[in-house]
Structure formats: structure tokens, C-alpha cells
A and B are shown apart, each in its own frame.
Chain A
């Protein structure tokens, strides 16, 4: 209890003198703020990407691709094969064309977007899909509906706009939403006009299908491949997008923690430097408290707590900076797969990222206080008290 009281009072006394050394304290506060801001920003990109991927997953929907391929971009299913597959699966299947094409973004720079030529069941098989403005494309017409995020982020996709995709001009007739998932970065049209515009007569990339009760992707693949004319790979939509999300998560984690750790080293030295400066400027105060009855341990702990408080304050400022600059801002990046389309998603500062930011600030503070604490313990109290300053 007495130790706690000593620590608390030493901390309060020190904080009351903060105004006299605010400039040095700001050094460690803002050093940590920058580190945390960079780490949070990078991790928020990863979290936003993963969230968009996760929302793109549809429970109980499987993707049927050409045998041996891993992405829609690589897959080609000829029309006769697609009809055999649809015949095997019954009504719960939608054949889709998937094309990567180039449009201009809001700044006039060319970007790759995914154009999906849909079948009759494509909407029904995605429960979160809603038409939020306009109407669906008419059969056989070069009309498109665009995802909300694609419309927000890329230019020239307002209702009524005409846009050139492939060899043809298309009219925007509607906008759809899927709750912010990857699909909202896509442009949809009827399958046949897409095949025509991109010279892919009667060719598809994927069939989206609903499995029978308890049927695994492997079971469905085996069922389809029993027909010797067919060779397909079946993957659940969750696994397909989950794999992309994991790849991105790995990438941004390495990037975020790697850059964050390197920068944290700098922040630790900033905190250490500040702490050493504090010991130097506060030597008289520390020696006085020591002679008046504060133990070295209590003064050391108070110093560490103060350092951590400064770095946590820096961490919170870093998080606030990220919020101020990036909140509600859409990010566009290449889809972390082999088709290199741009996907658009939100910055996602999750609770986990916040805790990681605070933890990093605490670690910076603790490591930064070790050197000053050691110096404090060696402080020649009796000598210092004899000095004028």
C-alpha cells in the first residue's frame, strides 16, 4: 500500500512538472504517434480487404472452375461443358463470364476492373445482393449495373453514363450493393453481350452452384467429373475468397509489423532519449524525493509509468490521426490474386488493431524507460543535493 502511494504521489508530482519539460515529452509522444499511425494504417488496409473478402463469401455456394486452375481468370469452360454441368446439377447453378478490362479511374488513370457476365441465377445465388438504383440490364443489350464502391471510386459510372468496355460501348442502367464486399468493385452485365464484346463466343469462366445437402466441394467435383467429357475443379466460395484474404493478411501483417517494428525502434530511442533527458533535468527533483522518503523502486516505477503514459498518449494520437485522415475513405488496390483487378474497400480500424496499437505504445514506453530507470537507480542522490542546479 505504501509502495503504491509512493508510486502514485511520485507520478503526480512528476506530471505536475510536465509543463516545464513539455517539449522533450512531445518528442516521445509524437514519435510514438507516427509509428502507431503507420502501423494502424497498414493493418487497417489489411482488415478492410479481409472484411471485403469475407463479405463476398456466400454460404453454401461453390465455384466450378476448369480442372486444375485456381482462379476465375485462368478458367475457361466451353458452352457445351457448361450445359453438361448445369444438366448434372439441376436448376441451382449460374454460368458466368469473368473478364478483366480497363477503365479510367476518377483521376483519369487506367485501372483494371472485373466485368462479370451473369446468368439467370447469379443474383439469387448471392443473398446479400440488392439493386439499389436503376434497373437490371435487359436481355442481349449492352447495359451494365455497377457495384456501389466501383461507382464511388472510379469515374464515369453514374446512371446513364456510357462507357467503353472491350470493343463496345455500354450504358450504365443500375447500381447494386452487397454490403461492401469485393463484389461491389465489379461491373455486371448479361453473359452473352460480354462474350460478344470480348470475342469469347459461348465461353464461360465459372459456374456458381448450390450443393446438395451435406455435399462437399470434393463430392461435387467427383460427381461432375464422373462424366468423362468434363474436368472441373470445385472450390467453396468461402475457401476461394478466404485464400485471397489470407494472402493479403499475411502480406499486410508482414508489412505492417515489419515497418511498425522498424519505426518502433526509432520511437523506443525517442522515448529513451526523452527519459534520459528527464532524468538529467529532474535529477534534483528525483534526489529530493529520494531523500524525503521515496524509494528508488517507487521512483523508477513512476518514471516507467509516466513514459508509458506518454507513449500511450502518442499511440492514441496516432490512431486519432488515422481516423481523421482515413476514416470513411475508400481504398483501391489490386486484388491479391492472379487477375490483378482493382478492388475497393474501406479502411477498417478494428478493435483488435486498436489493442495492438495500444500494446505497441506500451511496449515502446516500457522498453524506452529501461535505460532511464537504470540511470535513475544509479543517481548519486547525496551529491546531487549539494549542487546548485
Chain B
């Protein structure tokens, strides 16, 4: 029996008191390598409570990032259902899923994924550009997000003019700027030194504790996982 087993995952969820924000119901995902289907997730089930900070850990290739992408609507399962809040995202069309993702999920990646030609301010503003907001409101939101991550004085700098830790804080500000309830972080400290990593995790903890953000962190690092209230260890299903 592994943590992919639905029963175990559900038991883990039952330990939290809050209502579930994310419900993963027997989700399977496999990738093809030539003619061979390599299963990464198999009938995986779990829930994530609203306001929870959860760490997904496990060996490389066990499906942590895949699960994160499925929760965030960046990928689709081969089977199973995923519901986030009131929305069954696995039933959405591609366009609707993209729209939902832009409004409800903040992504934070190991390598920041900031646009190099844009300033920190412009990078943070990006997710707001496709929403119906006036420029003044966009500016206010961007200022708030940059203040929150402590980068108000670096707003006009480009990514290449900032340290890795600062770039990751810009990425966090970008994830926050739409006021998404769900932040999905894939190895957010994987490219940072220890001090910067500590600051990033403290910031994520603050967002979880003070702002009630639901945060899922994929990590190899036990020190990072220690910031989470709950840790789910994934194992890789057998290849077929």
C-alpha cells in the first residue's frame, strides 16, 4: 500500500478541520516513452483543505510536479476528477481552464520564469493585463504585492539586475497579485542559497498564516517541507 492509495490520502486529509479547497478523485496520469506508457499517478486521491500549507515530497519522477500541474490546471489527467473550490476543473474546456487558472492559481517555479525584457513591476503586473482592471487599480495591486514581498525599491529593475532570491520574491508577488487563493510552488527554493531559501519559506508561511492562502509546495528539501503543516510523500507506480 502506498500514499497513492486513495484511502491513505483521504485519511491524511481527514486530519485537517477546514473545508477542502482541492479534491482529487482517483486521478491517473501517464506519459508515453515511445510505445511504453509510463504511469506517474495512478488512481490518486487526496484533498487539500482551504488555508492549508502542504508539502509534496518523494523521489524524482514520483509525480509531485505532475500532481501540482494537474491541481493548477496546467495539465489534464488521463482519468479521474479534480475539483478546486466549486469548480470541477477537469470538465472545463481548454479556454475556460486557462481562464480559471489565470484567476485562481498562483504558480511559483524553481527558476522564477520572469520575462527578462520586463521590469519587476511589469512582471508582477502580467497576470492583471488580461483582466478588466483600470491602470490605477493594477498599479495599486502591483505596489501592494511588491510591498508584501519587500521589493518596492526594486520595482523598476529587470530580473537580470536582481539576485535569485529577489527574483523569486518577484515571482511570488506575481502569484499574489490576482489574490488567488491557491499558490502552487514547485521547488521554490531549489535554486537559492540557504539564507534566501529561508526568507522565501518564511514569506510563504506568512502568506499562509496571515492571508489564509492555500499553499502546496513540491520539494526535495526536508527543511522546506518542515514549514508545511502536512507532508504527503508520493511514490512512483509500477510501469506497465
Q: Which of chain A's residues 194-231 have a Cβ closer than 8 Å to chain B? A: none
Q: Which of chain B's residues 92-134 have a Cβ closer than 8 Å to chain A? A: 94-95, 98-99, 101-103, 107, 109-111, 113-118, 126-127, 129-130
Evaluate contact between B126 and A292: CB separation under 8 angstroms: yes
Evaluate contact between B118 and A385: CB separation under 8 angstroms: no
Closest to B66 in A: A382
Given contacts A293-B102, A295-B94, contact A388 B111 (CB under 8 A): yes
| Neighbouring B residues of A292 by C-beta, 8 Å | 102, 107, 126-127, 130, 174
Evaluate contact between B129 and A5: CB separation under 8 angstroms: yes
A323 within 8 A of B: no
Stretch among A30-38, A181-189, A283-291, A337-345 lining the B interface: A283-291
B65 within 8 A of A: yes
Evaluate contact between B74 and A381: CB separation under 8 angstroms: yes
Given contacts A16-B118, A291-B74, A293-B102, contact A386 B107 (CB under 8 A): no
| Neighbouring B residues of A13 by C-beta, 8 Å | 115, 117-118, 126
| Neighbouring B residues of A167 by C-beta, 8 Å | none
Interface string of B176-206 (1 = CB under 8 A from A): 0000000000100001000000000000000
Between A288, A289, A290, the greatest number of chain B beta carbons within 10 A of the residue's beta carbon is seen for: A288
A294 within 8 A of B: yes
Whole-angstrom distance from the CB of B217 to the nearest CB of chain A?
Answer: 15
A325 to B108, CA, bound (A): 55
| Neighbouring B residues of A288 by C-beta, 8 Å | 113-115, 126
Evaluate contact between A289 and B126: CB separation under 8 angstroms: yes
B75 within 8 A of A: yes
Between A284, A292, A295, A382, the greatest number of chain B beta carbons within 10 A of the residue's beta carbon is seen for: A292
Whole-angstrom distance from the CB of A4 to the nearest CB of chain B?
Answer: 10
Interface band, chain A:
20 to 34
A382: contacting residue among B65, B94, B114, B116, CB under 8 A: B65
Between A and B, 23 residue pairs with Cβ closer than 8 Å are A2-B99, A13-B115, A13-B117, A16-B117, A16-B118, A20-B116, A288-B126, A292-B102, A293-B99, A293-B101, A293-B127, A294-B98, A294-B130, A295-B95, A296-B94, A296-B98, A297-B95, A381-B74, A382-B65, A385-B74, A385-B107, A386-B186, A389-B111
A292-B102, A292-B126, A382-B74 provided; 6 other pairs, C-beta below 8 A?
A: A9-B129, A288-B126, A291-B101, A291-B113, A382-B75, A386-B109
Q: Which 3 residue pairs spanning A and B have beta carbons closest together?
A: A293-B102, A17-B117, A9-B129
